[in-house]
């Protein structure tokens, strides 16, 4: 993980349970003998996130509506720290204003960015319930409400248009785009993940565990707009790049996560085609998982 990631040393389960007792019922013994949780249990993952946000980020109220994406906090922190490095390299200091495209109901990225860097954020989403929940999280935590506002994107075909005001300026934008191409593709991905979870846990707990996991929901959940869009990740990012050219004088750095490395070349080609003057690809690692985000600027 990033050197500044406060989650580098794993989860301090005992401390988390002390400050957030609602986590206690979900604590189990891992194969290593250490305390952990069952990551196939959606409620356990939600409780862990709430505990982490309380313990590290001072978030006293955090909840998710049923079925909405519950992202792992440590990996999200790496993206924030990577953007911070990008701004430092560019000679940009405070005040900083970021736009989180697809803030979701969880508001994780602004929470981390506000805590570590005191950045200001606008979050946008096409889902009204997600907008309402993210707004409630901000309003219920005074240290967030001063720095975060949430807006509804009313046109599913637009990303920045309808969100960025005519004279509004942002230091950066960020996005974790939908990964899958269709609902069927998302369902197949869920089934593959559940099979892997069943196989891994079944080795330790027997056939009963396999059946339980195979019948479970995806542990981090997610609504359709969070998981898939027409054309998948590449089409979404290329649409974002095209639209970014319209707002090139209002945003210093556009950034976006890229899950598939094979998408990097066509993304770079699109960025060059629309006349960006700077392009960067920043790699991130969390254990054995590798990811990255791209950044481009017209300035």
Number of domains in the chain: 1
Confidence check: pLDDT of 94 > 60: yes
- Give the pLDDT score at 31: 87
Residue 18 lies in a domain: no
Residue 41 lies in a domain: no
Confidence check: pLDDT of 196 > 80: no
CATH number of the domain encompassing residue 287: 3.40.50.150
How many Cα atoms sit within 13 Å of 94 on the Cβ side?
8
Coil, strand, or helix at residue 101? strand
What integer is the mean pLDDT of 196-210? 45
Contacts of 293 (CB under 8 A, 6+ apart): 79, 82, 83, 174, 255, 256, 257, 258, 281, 282, 284
pLDDT tens readout for residues 240-298: 999 999 999 999 999 999 999 999 999 999 999 999 999 999 999 877 788 999 999 99
pLDDT tens readout for residues 54-70: 999 999 999 999 989 89
What integer is the mean pLDDT of 179-197? 50
Residue 59 lies in a domain: no
Contacts of 131 (CB under 8 A, 6+ apart): 103, 123, 125, 150, 151, 152
* Domain membership of residue 163 as a residue range: 66-181+222-297
Residue 2: which of 75, 56, 57 has the closest Cα?
75
Residue 213 lies in a domain: no
Residue 23 lies in a domain: no
Residue 44 lies in a domain: no
Coil, strand, or helix at residue 114? helix
- Give the pLDDT score at 93: 86
Residue 290 lies in a domain: yes
pLDDT tens readout for residues 115-163: 999 999 999 999 999 999 999 999 999 999 999 999 999 999 999 999 9
Enter the pTM of the model.
0.85
Alpha-carbon gap, residue 247 to 13, rounded angstroms: 44
Confidence check: pLDDT of 12 > 50: yes
Residue 205 lies in a domain: no
CB 179 within 8 A of CB 233: yes
């Amino acid at each position: 993980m990033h050197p500044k990631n406060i989650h580098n040393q794993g989860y301090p389960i005992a401390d988390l349970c002390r400050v957030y007792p609602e986590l206690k019922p979900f604590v189990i013994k891992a194969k290593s003998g250490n305390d952990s949780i069952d990551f196939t249990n959606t409620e356990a993952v939600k409780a862990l996130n709430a505990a982490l946000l309380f313990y590290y980020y001072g978030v006293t109220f955090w909840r998710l509506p049923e079925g909405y994406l519950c992202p792992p906090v440590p990996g999200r922190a790496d993206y924030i720290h990577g953007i911070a490095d990008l701004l430092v390299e560019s000679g940009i200091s405070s005040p900083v204003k970021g736009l989180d495209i697809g803030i979701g109901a969880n508001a994780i990225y602004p929470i981390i960015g506000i805590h570590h860097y005191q950045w200001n954020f606008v979050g946008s989403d096409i889902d009204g319930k997600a907008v309402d929940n993210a707004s409630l999280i901000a309003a219920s935590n005074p240290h967030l409400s001063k720095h975060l506002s949430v807006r509804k994107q009313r046109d599913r075909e637009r990303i920045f248009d309808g969100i960025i005001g005519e004279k509004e300026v942002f230091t950066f934008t960020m996005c974790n785009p939908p990964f899958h191409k269709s609902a069927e593709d998302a369902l197949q991905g869920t089934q593959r993940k559940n099979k892997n979870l069943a196989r891994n846990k079944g080795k330790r707990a027997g056939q009963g565990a396999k059946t339980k996991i195979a019948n479970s929901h995806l542990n981090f959940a997610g609504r359709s707009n969070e998981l898939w869009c027409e054309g998948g990740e590449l089409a979404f990012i290329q649409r974002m790049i095209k639209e970014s050219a319209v707002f090139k004088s209002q945003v210093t750095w556009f950034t976006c996560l890229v899950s598939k490395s094979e998408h990097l070349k066509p993304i770079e080609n699109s960025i060059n085609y629309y006349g960006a003057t700077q392009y960067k690809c920043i790699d991130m690692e969390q254990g054995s998982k590798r990811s990255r985000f791209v950044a481009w600027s017209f300035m």
